[in-house]
């Protein structure tokens, strides 16, 4: 018996790789971490791959390719965006911030990055760029996020299970350290 | 590729623990890494006192101007920097930091100047050293040698090519038996060198912060100044180790060395690696494992801009392009035809039906136990309590999909990527490419999770990348899509069990576990309770899938079976589940203490709100005893809501409590995720699930906001920490839901039972 792709697989693949009709590369200009860039890419290329392969900003990670995990999270004009699912042509003229752009010019960590170090959040670390980008966006939007707001906003997957420390770091970064210590994991 | 397992693994298989003879069964030999076999793979390494050629080679590989190598595994630079070479890969479990703490503590090194680097994947850094040391002079470390299963020694003597991280073993074996001893021996040499230079006796000298001090004269010498001379000295094979009260770094909450690079995007994982002129490739293997590629028309892929080549393997098709996106588009454009290898009828319901039939036929392939269960059951007549459990295949879902860069150049194959056994990786790639292992070079990189998926024995990407590299003139990075990951995993086996027991005077009189699983599934099925008659019967049933080790291996399913069933027995006996367990544990035992502590922390027995229940479970795995309590209820949509979790852990000693706590909490979350929502199912021989949309991982909102972890410190041999947090949580949750709702969960996952 012969076998081709299982049907579900085929459908999923086709939906993701819809031919656009425009195969030719086009020049697309936007800014990344405050610097102007111009890339030659096919219009349908997801921002993720332009960042990782053309601009060599590999801090933004590939996890699923279908906007389901958040590993590829960046900010586009300040909006939290899953870069695997946005064509680079949509980014023209916009401002992108990646994990590499969070530090201050002098190398000082962003308060959220520092909270991540203080709470010793990362295990394998692979999801953490996306987690930090999501947390920064949440804090910029809400100031001092409540537990319910954290639950709602932090939908990125962490297979290592760092969720309790992610919550603790967000609370600590927003001056809610007292609350954070109440939800801290037990003393050793 | 399933037919061509890594010979290292064959060697492991050839060395089963003597008390559990393995019956070879089935049409096909299977790569199997489970239980004692995994423990056997537990990357132990030893001390290189004797083999000068290896030391010379290690020096050449690692030691530059102004640096001095000691015992292969560490060097001191003249600026006092101490570098340790770790044979274990750190995929997030904090191993490098822990090994560094152990070495630096005994060495009295300045922690701010300690670095941990990945050891080169060279035989000079292989576990051969362990064999030489343990079978040779180094048998004088009782804590270590006693902890080694006989099978480990047997396997190691056969294998020259092993450098594995797994079985929660890095810290307890490598750290205890290796790094601490090396640190102490080198410290002694530095003191001896200083004594000569200062013209005083060794007894007058003290060490701290990488400095030897002669308090009487106020003179001191830095390690960097002493290193050259000390490196020429012969080192003690039997240095005095510090006692617990002298530790400055061990058992202290040291911050992890790898974390800064993991918050600013600078850490380079295997998938991030790049080379000039490198191409990117992606792959689709036969949808039905065991199937072969029959035909494929390459033209549609070649028409996609950026696509450069279509490569056909025996059972897969690869598209090579200038970037990942073009390769993925090219692959999606293809309509390859694959055979199903005769496995087209394999499906999840069919597997369970066949497993039940096999168990009911009553001819076990392996059995173990004590006492006479049959007579006890006969005497009990109708009073035998029975329950059937089922657990599904589980995907590892490491967040970084497989990625391996390969370059075939001038007769050598160069590889870059993250795998749990760098030397084993070279061996497998060499076999696949028909090359000599010496012509394969592997550069280990940071891994985005592993959980058992990255052992060479189960990483067919090594074969794929090696074969691909031989067909292209440029370096190529092969990246698996998430769909490929989900559909071609080496899963935690789909397994089922019938548990039965009988009670007498409020105690368990006899207990039987009849379980059906792949053909080598006897490891890590430990039973901790004091029951006069026990029986464990294994019925071997293989599928077309490759059974893989999944964080804590067989302890996940057996932890669920045993700890759910004893809960049922407690209720049948009309007793409190905590007290019922307690009275079946030896009085005054470590187990009993762990259980008491978790009950105390969780406020066991205190009133709970309506609709909320508490569940308890205790499992020993990888030398560590963990008891957990979970408080849970049910959400409006009927799905479980985990409110809080507690864990009490006795692993002897934690090297780094801060990190150990994260490992236990992470293990609990991984277990809850699997228990609630994860399942790989088969239909027509192929995996149904494809990505995180239908393979459901737990998100932050559904994880308990608080996981309260406590450690009981003891002088018991050091146990593992990466895996033992996982097994108790499944049953603790199911038991909590029973307490909350009166409904017993015996089939996992909770959310998609219909699938099974
Ligand atoms: S890679 Fe974009 S959400 Fe997963
Ligand atoms: S830290 Fe490993 S996936 Fe989040």
Report which of residues A109 and B167 the model is more confident about: A109
Tokens of A105: 């010019």
pLDDT of residue A23: 58
Scan for tokens 């293990």, then name that residue.
Answer: B667
Residue A184 lies in a domain: no
Task: Using most ligand atoms within 8 A of CB, pick from A73, A121, A134, A158 the residue to mutate for ligand 2.
Answer: A158
Q: Is the CB of residue A123 below 6 angstroms from any atom belonging to ligand 2?
A: yes
The token pair that represents B81 in the structure block = 């920097």
pLDDT on residue A12: 47
Residue A56 sits in the same domain as residue A92? yes
* Averaged confidence pLDDT in chain B: 85
Of A32-36, B97-101, B168-172, the least confident: B168-172
User: What Cα–Cα distance (Å) separates residue B657 from each residue in A159, A167, B171, B388, B654?
Assistant: 21, 20, 13, 38, 6
Domain match, A138 and A167 both: yes
Distance from CA of B350 to the nearest CA of A (A): 19
The DSSP element (H or E) to which B536 belongs, if any, is: strand B533-540
Residue B678: which of B451, B359, B462, B457 has the closest Cα?
Answer: B451
Indicate if A92 and A135 belong to the same structural domain.
no
Peptide bond into B749 cis (omega under 30): yes
Domain boundary among A49, A83, A101: A101
Say if A149 falls within a structural domain: yes
- Whether B258 has its CB under 8 Å from any CB of chain A: the answer is yes
Helix (H, G, I), strand (E, B), or coil: what is residue A30?
strand
Per residue in A85-111, is it b (16+ CB within 10 Å) or e — as a string? bbbbbbbeebbbbbbbbbbeeeeebbe
Same domain as A32, residue A75 = yes
Q: Residues 598-627, chain B: which have Cβ within 8 Å of A?
A: 601
Whether residue B144 is predicted with pLDDT greater than 50 in this model: the reply is: no
DSSP class of residue A186 equals P
Which residue, B495, B514, B512, is CA-closest to B352?
A: B495
Extract the tokens encoding B146.
């006693």
Domain with A58, as residue range(s), is 25-101
pLDDT category of residue B1 using cuts at 50, 70 and 90 = very low
CA distance A133 to A137: 6
pLDDT exceeds cutoff 70 at B189 = yes
Q: What is the DSSP string of B217-270?
A: TTEEEEHHHHHHHHHTSPPPSSPPPPPGGG-SSTTS-PPPTTSGGGTSS---BG
- Compute the average pLDDT of residues A142-148: 96
Flag the least confident range among A144-153, B147-156, B333-342: B147-156
Q: Which residue, of A101, A128, A156, is where some domain finishes?
A: A101
Q: Report which ligand 2 atom has the smallest distance to the Cα of A125.
A: 1
Q: Does B529 touch chain A (CB under 8 A)?
A: no
pLDDT at B126: 57
Domains in chain B, please, with CATH?
29-250 (3.30.365.10), 279-341+402-479 (3.30.365.10), 349-393+491-754 (3.30.365.10)
Q: What pLDDT is recorded for position A126?
A: 98
Tens-place pLDDT, residues B88-100: 777 677 888 888 8
Q: Residue with the nearest Cα to atom 3 of ligand 1?
A: A67
CB of residue B666 inside a 6 A radius of ligand 2: no
Domain membership of residue A33 (yes or no) is yes
- Going by their DSSP bridges, the two strands B682-683 and B613-621 should be labelled as unpaired
Q: What phi, psi does B613 have (nearest 5°)?
A: -130, 160
What tens digit of pLDDT does each residue of B215-272 get? 999 999 999 999 999 998 888 777 889 998 999 999 998 888 889 999 999 999 999 9
The residue-averaged pLDDT of B57-84 equals 86
- The total of other beta-carbon atoms located within 10 Å of residue A22's CB is 11
Q: Which of B263, B290, B347 should be substituted to probe chain A, the one whose Cβ sees the most A Cβ atoms within 10 Å?
A: B263
Same-domain pairing of A89 and A133? no
* Residue A160 included in any domain: yes
Domain count, chain A: 2
Half-sphere exposure in the Cβ direction for B639 (13 Å, CA): 14
Do A88 and A37 belong together in one domain? yes
Report the residue from A49, A121, A126 with minimal CB separation from B449. A126
For B360, counting Cβ atoms within 10 Å of its Cβ (0-12 exposed, 13-18 middle, 19+ buried), the class is exposed
- The verdict on a CB contact (< 8 Å) between B259 and A122 is yes
For residues A90 and A142, membership in a common domain is answered with: no
Please work out, in degrees rounded to the nearest 5, the angle formed at the alpha carbon of residue B348 by the alpha carbons of B342 and B349.
110
User: Based on the domain organization, do A65 and A128 belong to the same domain?
Assistant: no
State the residue for tokens 């380079």.
Answer: B268
Average pLDDT over residues B486-495: 95
Q: By percentage, how much of chain B surpasses pLDDT 90?
A: 68
The answer to whether position A183 is within a domain reads: no
Give mean pLDDT, residues B66-72. 86
**Which chain B residues are within 8 Å of A17, Cβ to Cβ?**
328-329, 332-333
Query: What's the gap in Å between A127 CA and the centre of ligand 1?
Result: 10
Last residue of a domain, one of A73, A101, A129: A101
CA atoms within 13 A on the CB side of B488: 26
Helix (H, G, I), strand (E, B) or coil at B641: strand
A30 and A93 share one domain: yes
Three-class SS of A62-106: CCCCCCCCCCCEEEECCEEEEHHHCEHHHHCCCEEECHHHCCCCC
Q: A51 and A69: one domain? A: yes
pLDDT on residue B740 = 97
Task: Please give the span between the terminal C-alpha atoms of chain B, in angstroms, as a whole number.
Answer: 28
pLDDT by residue (tens digit) across B336-390? Answer: 999 999 999 999 999 999 999 999 999 999 999 999 999 999 999 989 999 999 9
A110 min Cα distance to partner chain B (Å):
9
Do A129 and A78 share a structural domain? no
Q: What residues have CB less than 8 Å from A149, skipping those under 6 apart?
A: A138, A142
Do residues A125 and A166 both lie within one domain?
yes
Q: E strands within B392-480?
A: 403-409, 412-417, 440-444, 476-479
Q: What is the pLDDT of residues B693-750, one digit of tens each?
A: 999 999 999 999 989 999 998 888 888 888 999 999 999 999 999 999 999 999 999 9
Q: pLDDT grade, residue B54 (50/70/90)?
A: low
In a domain, A147, yes or no: yes
Beta carbons of B577 and B744 less than 8 angstroms apart: no
Residue at A29 is within a domain: yes
Residues in A closer than 8 angstroms to B259, CB to CB, are 116-117, 120-122, 125
Query: Residue B338 and residue A2: Cβ atoms within 8 Å?
Result: yes
Q: Which of A2, A98, A188 comes nearest B661 by C-beta?
A: A188
CATH number of the CATH domain containing A79: 3.10.20.30
Tell me which of B138 and B563 has the higher pLDDT.
Answer: B563
Is A2 part of a structural domain of the chain?
no
Give per-residue pLDDT as tens, B632-656: 999 999 999 999 999 999 999 888 9
């Amino acid at each position: 018996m012969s076998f081709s792709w299982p049907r579900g697989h085929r459908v999923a693949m086709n939906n993701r790789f819809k031919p656009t009709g425009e195969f030719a590369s086009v020049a697309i200009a936007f800014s990344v971490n405050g610097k102007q860039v111009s890339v030659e890419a096919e219009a349908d290329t997801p921002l993720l791959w332009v960042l990782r392969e053309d601009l060599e900003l590999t801090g933004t990670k590939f996890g699923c390719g279908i906007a389901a995990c958040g590993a590829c999270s960046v900010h586009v004009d300040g909006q939290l965006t899953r870069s695997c699912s946005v064509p680079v042509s949509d980014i023209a003229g916009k401002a992108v911030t990646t994990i590499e752009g969070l530090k201050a010019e002098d190398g000082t960590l962003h308060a959220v990055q520092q909270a991540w170090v203080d709470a010793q959040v990362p295990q394998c670390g692979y999801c953490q760029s996306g987690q930090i980008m999501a947390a920064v966006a949440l804090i910029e939007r809400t100031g001092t996020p409540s537990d319910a707001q954290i639950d709602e906003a932090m939908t990125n997957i962490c297979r290592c299970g760092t969720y309790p420390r992610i919550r603790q770091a967000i609370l600590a970064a927003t001056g809610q350290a007292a609350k954070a210590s109440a939800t801290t994991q037990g003393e050793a | 590729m399933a037919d061509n397992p890594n010979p290292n693994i064959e060697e492991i298989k050839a060395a089963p623990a003597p008390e559990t003879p393995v019956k070879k069964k089935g049409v096909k030999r299977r790569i199997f890494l489970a239980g004692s076999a995994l423990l056997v793979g537990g990357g132990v390494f030893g001390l290189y006192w004797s083999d000068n050629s290896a030391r010379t080679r290690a020096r050449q590989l690692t030691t530059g101007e102004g640096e001095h190598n000691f015992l292969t595994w560490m060097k001191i630079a003249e600026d006092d920097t101490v570098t340790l070479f770790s044979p274990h890969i750190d995929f997030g479990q904090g191993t490098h930091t822990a090994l560094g703490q152990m070495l630096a503590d005994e060495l009295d090194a300045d922690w701010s100047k300690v670095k941990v680097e990945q050891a080169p994947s060279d035989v000079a850094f292989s576990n051969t050293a362990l064999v030489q040391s343990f079978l040779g002079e180094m048998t004088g470390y009782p804590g270590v040698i006693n902890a080694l299963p006989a099978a480990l020694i047997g396997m190691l003597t056969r294998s020259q090519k092993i450098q594995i991280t797994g079985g929660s073993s890095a810290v307890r074996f490598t750290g205890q038996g290796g790094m601490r001893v090396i640190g102490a021996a080198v410290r002694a040499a530095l003191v001896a060198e200083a004594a000569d230079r200062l013209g005083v006796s060794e007894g007058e000298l003290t060490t701290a912060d990488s400095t030897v001090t002669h308090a009487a004269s106020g003179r001191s010498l830095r390690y960097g100044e002493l290193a050259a001379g000390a490196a020429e000295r012969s080192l003690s094979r039997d240095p005095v180790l510090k006692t617990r009260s002298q530790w400055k770094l061990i058992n202290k909450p040291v911050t992890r060395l790898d974390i800064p690079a993991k918050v600013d995007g600078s850490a380079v994982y295997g998938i991030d690696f790049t080379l000039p002129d490198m191409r990117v490739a992606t792959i689709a293997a036969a949808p039905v494992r065991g199937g072969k590629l029959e035909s494929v028309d390459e033209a549609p892929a070649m028409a996609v801009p950026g696509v450069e080549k279509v490569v056909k393997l025996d059972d897969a098709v690869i598209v090579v392009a200038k970037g990942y996106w073009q390769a993925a588009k090219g692959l999606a454009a293809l309509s390859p035809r694959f055979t199903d290898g005769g496995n087209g009828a394999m499906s999840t319901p069919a597997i369970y039906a066949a497993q039940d039939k096999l168990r009911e036929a009553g001819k076990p392939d392996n059995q173990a136990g004590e006492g006479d269960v049959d007579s006890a059951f006969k005497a009990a007549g109708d009073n035998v309590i029975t329950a059937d459990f089922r657990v599904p295949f589980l995907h590892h879902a490491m967040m970084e999909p497989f990625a391996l860069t390969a370059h075939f150049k001038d007769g050598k194959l160069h590889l870059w990527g993250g795998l749990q056994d760098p030397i084993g990786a070279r061996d497998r790639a060499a076999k696949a490419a028909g090359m000599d292992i010496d012509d394969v070079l592997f550069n280990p990189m940071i891994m985005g999770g592993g959980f058992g998926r990255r052992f060479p024995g189960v990483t067919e990407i090594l074969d794929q990348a090696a074969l691909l590299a031989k067909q292209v003139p440029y370096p190529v990075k092969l990246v698996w899509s998430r769909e490929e990951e989900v559909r071609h995993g080496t899963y935690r086996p789909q397994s089922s069990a019938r548990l039965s027991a009988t009670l007498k005077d409020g105690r368990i009189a006899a207990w039987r576990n009849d379980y059906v699983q792949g053909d080598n599934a006897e490891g890590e099925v430990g039973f901790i309770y004091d029951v006069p008659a026990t029986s464990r019967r294994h019925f071997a049933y293989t599928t077309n899938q490759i059974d893989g080790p999944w964080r804590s291996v067989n302890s996940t399913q057996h932890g669920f079976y045993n700890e759910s069933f004893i809960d049922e027995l407690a209720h049948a006996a009309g007793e409190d589940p905590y007290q019922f367990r307690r009275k079946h544990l030896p009085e005054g035992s470590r187990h009993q203490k762990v259980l008491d502590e978790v009950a105390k922390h969780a406020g066991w027995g205190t009133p709970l709100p309506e609709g909320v229940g508490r569940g308890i479970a205790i499992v020993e795995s990888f030398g560590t005893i963990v008891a957990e309590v979970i408080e849970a209820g049910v959400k409006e949509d009927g799905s479980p809501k985990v409110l809080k979790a507690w864990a009490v852990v006795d692993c002897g000693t934690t090297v780094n409590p801060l990190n150990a706590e994260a490992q236990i909490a992470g293990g609990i979350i991984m277990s809850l995720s699997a228990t609630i929502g994860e399942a790989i199912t088969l239909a027509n021989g192929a995996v149904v699930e494809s990505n995180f949309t239908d393979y459901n991982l737990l998100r932050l909102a559904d994880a308990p906001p608080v996981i309260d972890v406590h450690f009981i410190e003891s002088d018991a041999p050091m146990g593992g920490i990466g895996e033992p947090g996982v097994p108790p949580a499944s049953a603790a949750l199911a038991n909590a839901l029973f307490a909350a709702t009166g409904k017993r969960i015996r089939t996992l996952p909770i959310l998609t039972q219909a699938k099974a």
